[in-house]
A and B are shown apart, each in its own frame.
Chain A
């Protein structure tokens, strides 16, 4: 095992010494997706993983979610080691991943139903989160009847209804058009402020990371590793035309240039 021991107490999420090697089945050379990755995320913090494709940002998110096991290192949430997927980590995927056979309300209730929460109670909770994303009138609709942005809002409500300790988002707005994307970013900022959730957010868009995050983890590819950790000292709501925003953006662009 490599990586420093994690003694620090009080971090919500700790990723220490994580290394991930993919071994192709056809006998080609193994691919190192992540190398000695360390990251600590505090309670209520909004952290963005930013980098070009192939930098291992989605792999890291999948490891935190428990879908993928790290080759080395460990991930812990509130001090407990992550050993597989679980309801303490809500995940929002790039393609909404809603269950098309369930209505919007049933999708949002899904996690609660799995946990055995009585019907009355889970309908109430689902309604609250549907209200939070502004989709209460669509409780009875099937996902196919919603637009891309609405589907993604339902996916966020579904993840939040389980009251997870952390929200993991894998390029959730990547498939949306620019205008919808901008709206969703504002909405997510509001949701984050309302719920106080810890959020780990993967993106390849510099502006998006600067609009959303408290801290941006800039990653470099082959093997995936942290290039820089940047605090975003901008007050919310943020504007992507403000001078300090543009300055930060230029700084990150510079960082990503010599990747």
Chain B
């Protein structure tokens, strides 16, 4: 416990030092005019810019617009990916039908399909949400399938000898065995969804954090561009934290919780 506390202090100090050094460097640069200070705003400049955006109300609007897209897209990706992944992992016969198609689509970077999605579905919300759903689907599906297949054959035998039928084995054994994989898939899917969201907003949107970065660029508001990137970073960090907490809660029965690397 004390070790943990010390680790936390070191980590916070590291962040604080980073911000301080950045601030000092910006102030120093502003005095010496070494580089154009407009291109390299300080952390304080960013706070000021964020405050302005918040007062104008556009910061919240952007956050809400971006989060609405990611949540809808992520939800669709998960609602399709988890059940389909469970089925493909549990029924060997389905596996051979689904796997090759997934493997065919998987190497295509989702952004390569953005123009197609826009042509098909227009520049509105649907194209972006479905692109996020599409990109989150793959890590979720693949990790779910892998998770179901990781079921210990000994557990299968134990359940069979205790009288469980196929459906009961799925709900009481296979689904639980898959849970760690499903959570890894959700986390990877969310990270990828975030990535695609911002890229899609940069290219084709009239609201959202990615759009704001693009718009700020047009008006040469570099501090606002930094704010956009920082807010995206903070949101991503926050959701990853929430998902990790959820993981710890759902997997507290595990002897060692292996943290996935993103």
Name A residues whose Cβ lies closer than 8 Å to a Cβ of B.
Answer: 65-67, 84-87, 89-91, 93, 95, 97-102, 110-111, 114-115, 142-144, 158-159, 162
Contacts A93-B154, A97-B155, A100-B254 given: A85-B176 contact, CB under 8 Å? no
Q: In the complex, what residues of B have CB within 8 A of residue A102's CB?
A: 253
Q: In the complex, what residues of B have CB within 8 A of residue A67's CB?
A: 157, 160-161
Q: Mark B127-167, 1 if CB is under 8 A from A, else 0.
A: 00000000000000000000000001011011111111100
Closest chain A residue to B177, Cβ basis: A101
Q: In the complex, what residues of B have CB within 8 A of residue A99's CB?
A: 155, 158-159, 172-173, 176
Closest CB in chain A relative to B120 CB, distance in Å:
42
Which chain B residues (83-128) contact chain A, with CB distance < 8 Å?
none
Q: Does B3 contact A (CB under 8 A)?
A: no
Looking at chain B's contact residues, the main secondary structure is helix
Name B residues whose Cβ lies closer than 8 Å to a Cβ of A.
Answer: 152, 154-155, 157-165, 168, 172-173, 176, 179, 252-255
C-alpha spacing A100/B155, complex, angstroms: 10
Contacts A101-B179, A144-B253, A144-B255 given: A114-B154 contact, CB under 8 Å? no
Q: Let me know if B154 and A97 touch, CB within 8 A.
A: yes
Contacting residue for A100 out of B157, B162, B163, B255, CB 8 A: B255
Closest CB in chain A relative to B111 CB, distance in Å:
38
Q: Let me know if A100 and B164 touch, CB within 8 A.
A: no
Beyond A114-B165, A158-B162, list 16 extra A-B contacts (CB 8 Å).
Answer: A85-B157, A86-B161, A87-B161, A90-B161, A91-B161, A95-B154, A97-B154, A98-B158, A99-B172, A99-B176, A101-B176, A110-B159, A114-B159, A114-B168, A114-B172, A159-B161
Q: In the complex, what residues of A have CB within 8 A of residue B168's CB?
A: 114
Q: Let me know if B162 and A110 touch, CB within 8 A.
A: yes
Q: In the complex, what residues of A have CB within 8 A of residue B179's CB?
A: 101
C-alpha spacing A152/B157, complex, angstroms: 16
Closest CB in chain B relative to A123 CB, distance in Å:
17
Q: Let me know if A111 and B154 touch, CB within 8 A.
A: no
The 8 A-B pairs at the shortest CB distance, nearest first, are namely A87-B163, A111-B162, A85-B160, A101-B176, A91-B161, A144-B255, A97-B158, A97-B154
C-alpha spacing A102/B255, complex, angstroms: 13
Contacting residue for B157 out of A86, A91, A158, CB 8 A: A91
Closest CB in chain B relative to A158 CB, distance in Å:
7
Contacting residue for A85 out of B161, B254, B255, CB 8 A: B161
Contacts A101-B179, A114-B163, A114-B164 given: A93-B158 contact, CB under 8 Å? yes
Q: In the complex, what residues of A have CB within 8 A of residue B176's CB?
A: 99, 101
Closest chain B residue to A95, Cβ basis: B154
Closest chain A residue to B252, Cβ basis: A142
Closest CB in chain B relative to A108 CB, distance in Å:
10
Closest chain B residue to A86, Cβ basis: B163
Closest CB in chain B relative to A193 CB, distance in Å:
24
Q: In the complex, what residues of A have CB within 8 A of residue B154's CB?
A: 93, 95, 97
Contacting residue for B163 out of A65, A97, A115, A144, CB 8 A: A115
Q: In the complex, what residues of B have CB within 8 A of residue A142's CB?
A: 252-253
Q: Let me know if A114 and B254 touch, CB within 8 A.
A: no
C-alpha spacing A100/B252, complex, angstroms: 10
Closest CB in chain A relative to B40 CB, distance in Å:
52
Q: In the complex, what residues of B have CB within 8 A of residue A87's CB?
A: 161-163
